[in-house]
Amino acid sequence: MGICFWAPGAPQEIEEFECVCEGQTVACPYCKGTGTEKIPFSKGEIAVNNHNGRLILKWFGLQSDPGQGLVGQVEKSDLPSLHAKLFALQSDETQKLLTAHRIWGGWGEGLQSYLDRMLSLVAIAIAHDSTLCWA
């Protein structure tokens, strides 16, 4: 299981792949005989494992009560302040060091990757007048 962070208003895109059936059968559940599998995706989405997701929620100040559950959202009006907070965390080496040792894959670039991806996600949510959700 994991936690997904997403911006519901972010545009969906389609990624195309050659299907394993190579278009040989109309009954193929993936491509319906076209030979091309089309998979929708959104740049406004990040999936992480539960452990790291809980730490991200706490680190970014999105959830202070562990009994609150793993479902929530940040309203559109609160996104600019969240973006500013994440931007400030980029230069807070002490806070990054305190958090990095608890995040799986956190040493080196793992923690910075989460921070960069969340900054990008919040920017996408702002650009598309969307909330930021997690579940």
Interval 45-99: pLDDT, tens:
988 888 778 878 877 778 756 666 788 889 999 999 999 988 887 777 776 665 6
Q: Quick check: 4 and 46 in contact, CB under 8 A?
A: yes
* Three-class DSSP labels, 60-76: CCCCCCHHHCCCEEECH
DSSP 26-55: TT-TTTTTSSEEEEEEESSEEEEEHHHHHH
| pTM: predicted TM-score of the whole model, two decimal places | 0.74
